[in-house]
Chains A and B, each alone.
Chain A
Amino acid sequence: MQGTWGRRVATASVALSLGLTGAACSSRSSPTGDAGGQTASTQFVIARTGDIDLLDPHRATAFQTVQTLGLIYGNLVKADSSGKLHADLATEWSYADAGRTVTFTLRQGVRFHNGDPFTSADVKASITRLQDEKTSAVARSNLSGITGVDTPDDHTLVLHLKAADSALLYALSAVNAAVLDAKDIAADTVGKKPNGTGPFSFGSWQQNRDLTLKASQGYWGGAPKLATVIFRIIPDEPSILAGMRAHSFQMATISDPTVAQQVSGDAVTLVKQPALSYHALMLNGRRAPLDKPAVRQAIACAVDRQQVITTVANGDGKVTGPITSPAFDYSATQGLPCTAGDTAKAGQLLAGAGFGPDHPVKLRAIVETGEYATSVAEGQNLQAQLKAIGIQLTLEQEATDSYVKRWLAADYDAAVALNGGSYSPYTMYGRYFTTGGSLGIPAGLDSPDLSALLNRANQETDDAAQHQLYQQVQEKLLELSPWVWLFRGDDYYLLSPTVHGFVPMPNQSLQYLAETSVG
């Protein structure tokens, strides 16, 4: 009886499993992966691990949010993949009064997705909202130089500045400085239903599931070829790769080099794009013994950057100096008192500062766990490399909240960090290394010379002269070695071979989806 009963149970279980598996396979979703949805030619499914967190571009900081809202909203200007600025909602702009007045000519015939015409009043209302502290916009500090906004007519906008500010245009090109509909601002509906001037309009959002965008037929640059773009949340990167292999998605973004290394075969094309963000070992120059420039320089000299890339990122990355914008492509090490990885010179510098085998340098480094895949491995590699010159680096692994708390309070000797980059060198470093900069405390260095140099470069309106000044900034940073700049990691894009026209951007923008097609 027991055997019969057991067999019945087993048979029923197997039948259930096989039946359901069969049902699953027979109900295999369309190539676009949407059950019961539209056809493959109209849907473009992008898999990524994280969802957007809000719908208000002015408060956007998470890169998924910035990526997505960047497709819905427009800006006065936008940067291309080389960091060069181009017209967007402003067709041209000119400087007067030694750079203290900027006049924009705005594009005509543009409409928001709800049909409202775009005018200079929308730009003025957007800038006013950004400057309002109640908005809590992170971009507010980048626009603090604006003292007034005039709108002589519907298609002309005049910004009055405290001083010439070359970083301002870059700030205005960011998604978190997008142009909103003045009516939405007045009605306090921003963040409830996105309404922009970008190539795609907002469709729907199911939190932690998917978000749908529709091609904006009235887009001033011409309607995108992709009728519908769906961002699907697949939290696990190996699962994303499996989904790409199963032709379930047309595109995916991943960040883990070990997953990227597994890409093979014809079903998936891997595209690598060096990011603007950079990996660095931040040194707290306000603490002994790092307050001695020679100790910081010794550390900067000792670290073989290429070894870090090879070890922790499977070779995917590019050795970088402080400035990561492709428009300012300087030597990554010129300014250092040595070549990178020169342990002999590093030892000499340490000895000159009074350190050696009998009196070793001991440092505590905070390492953020969980936020990006390579953090701990980077710390371990740096620990091993610095050991070669007698520096004892103790790694203190912290979850993001603890890490941020200690980082903001500069409660560390060293910090293994992945910092965001920008096309504008001033936007990247003004907040760290200018006097009174908002992140001056965690930056760990107060140098009046460097501060003056950064401000001069930002206020310079001549491109060639500015280029030279930023080169001096880079060399000064490497000379002072407040941090050890390591490498720019690669962002990974997985594409179906049928996708054409997509160009990855160093700032992770997906703006080229407007020109992408499938076929």
Chain B
Amino acid sequence: MRVTVGLGSCGIAAGADKVFNLLNKELEDFTPCGASAVTGCIGMCYLEPIVNIDDDVYVKVDEEGAYELVKLLKGQKNNALSYKASAQDIELLASQTRIALKNCGVINPESIDEYVLKDGYKAAEKCLKNMNFEQVIEEIKTSGLAGRGGAGFPTWFKWNAARNSVGSEEKYIICNADEGDPGAFMDRAILEGDPHAVLEGMLIAAFAIGANEGIIYVRAEYPLAIIRLEKAISQARQKGFLGKNIFGSDFNFDIRIKAGAGAFVCGEETALIASLEGGRGMPRLKPPFPAQKGFKGKPTNINNVETFANVPWIIRNGGEAFAAIGTENSKGTKVFALTGKIAKGGLVEVPMGWTIKDVVFGVGGGIQNNKSFKAVQMGGPSGGCIPAVLENVTIDYKSLAETGAIMGSGGMVVMDDTTCMVDMARFFLDFTCKESCGKCTHCRVGNRRLLEILERICGGGGKDNDIELLEELSEEIKAGSLCALGQTAPNPVLTTLKYFKNEYEDHILNKKCTAHSCKPLLTYRIIPEKCTGCTLCARKCPANAITGTVKTPHVIDSEKCVKCGDCVKLCKFDAIVTT
């Protein structure tokens, strides 16, 4: 009998480590299991902590639940139904097509043997023993795999460019694990749940381009990922999958880890390289592309974690099989991190070609508290929002780009009608402003000014021509910035302006926030019919803006009100509303 506990960062945050320790302690001497094993995140973050007993899934397992499971395992109980995952949840999991996440939450990421049992390193072996680099690149080309980091550039093309780059024997493979979009954790889950898949993908890529050194640039904020990668690298070296004469060939390859300081801009290839070289994470001009002049000036291929994780599967199953999944222009699957107002938040992997609706209302389980779906922000701060009316747009690079959003690295922030779209744009711009490296005028100053205009609008100081100013400035920033961070930073503004211009107009002209989210634009009012005159709000108001005598309806003086919203939370009778 096999007992596993999902010990990704998300599981640990939900208390899975306590459950794990408890199970270990209780089951140590219990022969049928030995003890519980570690596994990564299966993606159902809304159900953490998750414990698997063979094929049965137990969710939201707290301390009490852990004891229940111990009893169940020891035959002291017949079932632990209250912790068992619902059939619907299991069905939703099964409805996904899992390639990159294939082993996540299934195998023990700290055990190379479990990876090998799942055909691990078979693909690398096949490449090194039976294929030449051209065949490998050809296979990737057939698969149609495109960069999963966000830009969606054909992977084979980059490999080919690096392979054909002349002038140096010394080449590098870099894995970009500097996942930085707010609300995105696809790469973290893969690194924590299936690190060997990434190592194997890098090994295959290294063979294809002729690199002998690989570097994983991972953000220091992912300590667990780093620990598991370190273990995985060490195990792979022991097994001879890394090092000299891999699989008896004359090919040598090793991987090291570089922990980055977590600058968002270091996700940009040239900034990442600058950071690796010990410089300031600042993008430089392209060309030359990294495939020509990358790390230390040598040809370098950089792919994202998820891209590498797809590679072993493609080699094992053939490019055709991968290309059979998805749409005409976008092949395979995509991992998404569902966050925001989604009912079943977590990681999902779905085939290209699904609609937004399939994701949000299918695997995502719809909107929390049955509120109405307003929009989804795709691609993080660089992406854009897609309104609910476009929920039938299919997930593929082309269709998403047509909406003004992008596929991005996989962040999907779902919004309901309590989300103010101006404030949402402001939020993402605030992020990019803080993460700009400060190099380009348009990005450094332009985005800052864009943010200031948005802050002004949200704060009630919107001016008549602000919309035109936002549009004009956005256009110049996109044209005037050197790297994708600056070029895409205005996207949240432009897409919200495109689909929710009325909200901007409401803020600017009517000084109203229809989502009731921008506090400076709200007016607090007590409904006399509902107010019981309990005096609680009047006593707690920090501005002494509420007056009234006991058992008579109270009144808020809007002049004095500082719009802190405390009274709304305090009122037990829902008598205080905002307009």
A binds B: no
Binding site for A on B (CB under 8 A): none
Q: Write the residues of chain A forming the contact surface with B, with a CB cutoff of 8 angstroms.
A: none
